[in-house]
Amino acid sequence: MDSRNENSWLAGVMRRQIQGLTCFHLSNSRSVLSTMAVWEVVLGLVMVAGTLGLLFWHLFLTLSPAYSDNYDFSSATSSLVSFFQPALPKFVPLVRGTSIQGLSAVQRFRSHVACFSEGGRWEYNDTVRAFPRNIAGDPHSDRCEVSHVAAMNAVAARQEQEVDLNASQRPEENWNVREALKWEWQTNSSCPLLPFNSNDFCKQIGSKRNVLIVGDSINQQIYWTLLNNLNKEVEDRGSRAQPDEDLVEVCSDVLPGGEGFKLGFVRNDRLSLIPPGVFLSIPEFHEFPWVHYLKQWEIQILVLNRGAHYEADEVYTQALRNALKVSHHDCMSFNAPIQERQTGVNMPYHWADFHAQNLLAKPMVERAGYIYMNVDSMLSLRPDGHVDAGDCLHYCLPGPLDSVVNLFYNILRVVNS
């Protein structure tokens, strides 16, 4: 066959293939495509689908904040990916700021933290023991002691006998502390919760790893509780909604070289990202700028809380999403922990809605690679730990929030081990 005949033959084959394809797409007829043409179509579709798939996979890996660039694909997937795109980033689930990496390690860690916070129960313990003093200036807790004294006076009147209301250490049968203090958060044997150790807590944080707590007045109480547990007396700042302009130095008497770390709090009920120098305040919310402090104060550990000041789900999740980019009805009717969280509509402080919004927050926090510490499972069962009938939002210090600090301590131990 000479070259002209050969070219003519090839042109004829191509013409028939094109005509067949045209009929197939336009008229959906049963025109017979040559075997070669069919395979060309199939291969073309596979190549297009594969290219788009790899493109979207690359975008997913690039945009997803919860994955790093060191994941090992299976050998088959790795070969295919390297053929088309050798420079694709590798990915691995991780917990930011820790050495915990890989899907199984992350799942084990999160299950362990959930065991601490969600798998426990409040148990009564009447053994005489010491409690942290309220030395950090929480203004709410004075009323707790007034209520306690009133309750003890009522007991004394009923028993027609005198009770020493000023005794701090007494025989066990007459131990004079608030009943709310005699309950302890106990976990099961698979995740034993160690008692809080202030010296070891300091070592778990480490020198110069400054800590910032941002959130509402409950988070401010957690800040005070942490100072109480570290036996750190600070200036009485009262209940002002202003941020502490100076961090408090702690643990310098424990850590090597006298170099402790600093602890601070900023009040921002919405975790809103407002510019420095701007302060927003309406009756329901206080919002101070806090993001610039992360660099200014060289913050290494950030503790956020967003919840007690209720807003709709979409507002709540958007605020939390933005931040990640950078239930007791008439509490005085309880004298012991309850067994199940309370539910219902129109409850004070939207207690019944906290759990639902926590379920929204958990996957967002964990997808971003951060640690989700659930304190609602513990605190929602402690209506007896609040201040008084006029304040069923804040807690008495010491009280249930000491268990939150202990939970924080135990999570640090897991991370550092």
Q: What is the pTM of this model?
A: 0.59
pLDDT of residue 197: 95
- Whole-angstrom CA distances from 216 to 88, 98, 189, 234 are 42, 27, 34, 20
**Cis before residue 398, ω within 30 degrees of 0?**
yes
> What confidence score (pLDDT) does residue 356 get?
86
pLDDT score recorded for residue 58: 41
Helix axes 35-63, 3-26, angle to 10 degrees: 60
User: pLDDT per residue over 18-67, tens digit each?
Assistant: 343 333 333 344 444 444 444 444 444 444 444 444 444 343 344 444 44
- Residue 271 to residue 302: CA distance in whole angstroms: 12
Give residue 326's pLDDT: 73
Which helix (H) or strand (E) segment holds residue 388: the answer is strand 386-388
The tens digit of pLDDT for each residue in 229-241 reads 998 876 655 444 4
Block means of pLDDT (10 residues each) for the chain, 417 residues, are 46 42 38 46 45 41 42 41 44 83 93 93 89 80 78 66 50 68 93 94 95 91 92 60 70 92 92 85 86 89 86 88 67 74 65 84 91 89 81 88 93 92
Pair of tokens at residue 311 = 């807003």
Side chain identity at residue 10, one-letter code: L
Give the model's pLDDT for residue 49: 43
